[in-house]
Amino acid sequence: MLPRAASRFLSLSLLALAVVGAGQTARAADSTVADALSSQVRKVFEDRRSAVVKVRSSDSLGIRFGSGFFADPTGLIFTHAGIVIKADAVNVMFGGRDLPARVLVADERSGIAILKVDAPTSSIPIGDSGKVTMATPLILIGYPEDLDASPSFGIVGSLDKKHLGRYFSTTHIRANLPVSRGEGGAPVLNLDGEVVGILVGRVDAGAACHILPIRAAEKVRSDLVRFGELRPAWVGVEVEDAPEPLGGSTAKVGALNPETPASRSGLEPGDILLKIGSTPITTSEDVIDAAFFLTAGDNAEIEILRGGTKQSLSVRPALHPLARGQEMQATVLPDETLHLD
């Protein structure tokens, strides 16, 4: 039998060895996870880089550069609106080619533009931006100034409805992902290599960024395909916050502007909004998101709570007054966000 002191020493030695062993196992596991993640980022980059383009535009003020990507194999490109709006000429460079591109639409409200080149191309599959949540890992592939395409990696920090006190036209993804000048319009992908957003803004001098969800970009493309133009919607209702939630929502109908779609829909002041189109409503801020995805001329269902009873109404939004004969300005994007060239 060992003396008590020797026995205690042996027990402590075995415990120390166990702790060291556990630490080494944990570090080995961390290393394995890191290696696997790094390998997947490289794979996504190599698989998708051929569908990412450098965008060059020129006007009387000079030349601007940005990034973009092919969204389908017919040569359709998503990029940043600030790069091409009012440009005299636009070219895209990819795979050793330099091709002229047509600007089909430059939408300052969403911050994106859609271009077209006359050539068959590779493309990046469209993912589901609705699955992007806090801490979702993201990969950006873009063209930093004077450099070749390169990847950046980060995670989602938040889903923002506004920035610096100004509201976005729709919720943006805020990612802790470093970006450089020249990467505006770059695709942001999930680990499966599907595009879930488009880089539209830098935050904190490029230490983080704001990303337009791909669902919002697809709304812009849908309008263009269906109508040959954008159809931002307008209902004409003022929404305020109720003091307490009813039916899970505090978004209360205030005034109804006369001779508007809202005044003809059956809505009444005091109604609690629960859903507009496909967008659930829990606060008045959610109405901004819902409005972005409505289309002028298309009927939309509105679910309300009135007198404790749920009801469904139908509204047919009109074309937004600001869209008649002029470009709609972004409701939020500050200078730091717009200038990514």
Average of pLDDT values for 143-154?
A: 94
Q: Tell me, what's the pLDDT at 145?
A: 87
The residue among 152, 160, 166 whose CA lies nearest residue 335 is 166
Q: Tell me, what's the pLDDT at 334?
A: 32
Enumerate domains of the chain plus CATH numbers: 50-116 (2.40.10.10), 129-230+330-338 (2.40.10.10), 233-319 (2.30.42.10)
Q: Tell me, what's the pLDDT at 217?
A: 98
Higher pLDDT, residue 40 or 5: 40
Contact predicate 66/140, CB 8 Å: no
Does residue 13 carry a pLDDT above 60? no
Q: What is the average pLDDT value for the chain, to the nearest integer?
A: 89
Could you give the C-alpha distances from 326 to 68, 165, 226, 321, in angstroms and in order? 25, 25, 20, 9
Most distant CA pair in the chain, distance: 98
Q: Tell me, what's the pLDDT at 26?
A: 59
Q: What backbone phi and psi angles, to 5 degrees, belong to 54? A: -95, 135
- Residue 189 binned pLDDT confidence (cut-offs 50, 70, 90): very high
Average of pLDDT values for 285-299?
A: 97
- Residue 6 binned pLDDT confidence (cut-offs 50, 70, 90): very low
71 bridge partner residues:
none
pLDDT digit string, tens, across residues 316-329: 999 998 886 544 44
Average of pLDDT values for 137-157?
A: 96
Does residue 257 carry a pLDDT above 90? yes
Per-residue b or e along 322-336, where b marks 16 or more CB atoms closer than 10 Å to that residue's CB:
ebeeebbebbbbeeb
pLDDT digit string, tens, across residues 190-218: 999 999 999 999 999 899 999 999 999 99
Q: Tell me, what's the pLDDT at 17?
A: 45
- Residue 247 binned pLDDT confidence (cut-offs 50, 70, 90): very high
Contact predicate 266/224, CB 8 Å: no
Instruction: Report the distance separating Cα 255 and Cα 277, nearest Å.
Output: 20
Average of pLDDT values for 282-302?
A: 97
Structure tokens at 165: 């006190």
The amino acid sitting at 230 is: L
Q: Tell me, what's the pLDDT at 269?
A: 97
Instruction: Report the distance separating Cα 306 and Cα 257, nearest Å.
Output: 19
- Burial group, residue 134, by CB count within 10 angstroms (0-12, 13-18, 19+): exposed
Higher pLDDT, residue 17 or 188: 188
Tokens 């993804």 label which residue?
173
Contact predicate 251/281, CB 8 Å: yes
The amino acid sitting at 164 is: L
SS3 327: coil
pLDDT digit string, tens, across residues 29-79: 667 888 999 999 999 999 999 999 999 999 999 999 999 999 999 999 999
SS3 149: coil
pLDDT digit string, tens, across residues 35-49: 999 999 999 999 999
Give how far the C-alpha of residue 69 lies from the chain's centroid of Cα atoms, to the nearest Å.
15
Contact predicate 103/63, CB 8 Å: no
Q: Tell me, what's the pLDDT at 81?
A: 98
Does residue 10 carry a pLDDT above 50? no
Average of pLDDT values for 276-305?
A: 97
Task: Determine what percent of the chain is predicted with pLDDT higher than 70.
Answer: 86
Contact predicate 94/164, CB 8 Å: no
Instruction: Report the distance separating Cα 277 and Cα 286, nearest Å.
Output: 12
For the chain, how many residues are written? 341
